[in-house]
Amino acid sequence: MYYTWMRNLHEDEWERQIDLNCKGVMHCIGAVLAGMIERKRGHIINMSSDAGRKPFPGLTVYSGTKFFVEGMSGALRKELVGTGVKVTTIQPGDVKTEILLHSTDMEAKQACDGSASCRILDPEDVGKAILFALSQPEHCAINEILIEPREAPA
């Protein structure tokens, strides 16, 4: 995730986000889907973001990639009805990871990064949400989990 204003043309950062968040997700699904369908069971967990539900200024490209993950996951979920394969998107808000250190557009980061304004999520919080989705019985699908800092709802 890179905070960047579109006008500042950090095109290399745009490419990295598209490669990871769009192409990477598609290739990972492609690597496991046939086996899951053959076994008539499986669970694809796609990491999205609250920015895939609502666009945020300074995260234009990132939001676009996460909207892609949401759209692809929703369509795939419908495609897989009757196969025994579930699809869940996890949609975290701000999480304490090194990802916040990657932005090079300091103008956008200073204007848009609110992660210092409240206690943000720990990676373990997101992990617990994933375990919740995975621990449901076969007939129960948790399609989406939006998890955000209490003091910073989207």
Supply the residues annotated as catalytic. Answer: 62
Residue bearing tokens 């949400």: 129
Hey, is 148 helix, strand or coil? coil
Q: At what angle do helices 60-79 and 11-18 cross, to 10 degrees?
A: 20
User: Cβ contacts of residue 57 below 8 Å, gap of 6+?
Assistant: 111, 112
Q: Which of 95, 93, 96, 46 is nearest to 71 (CA)?
A: 46
Cα angle value 116/123/36 (rounded, 5°): 140
How far is the C-alpha of 90 from the C-alpha of 92, rounded, in Å?
6
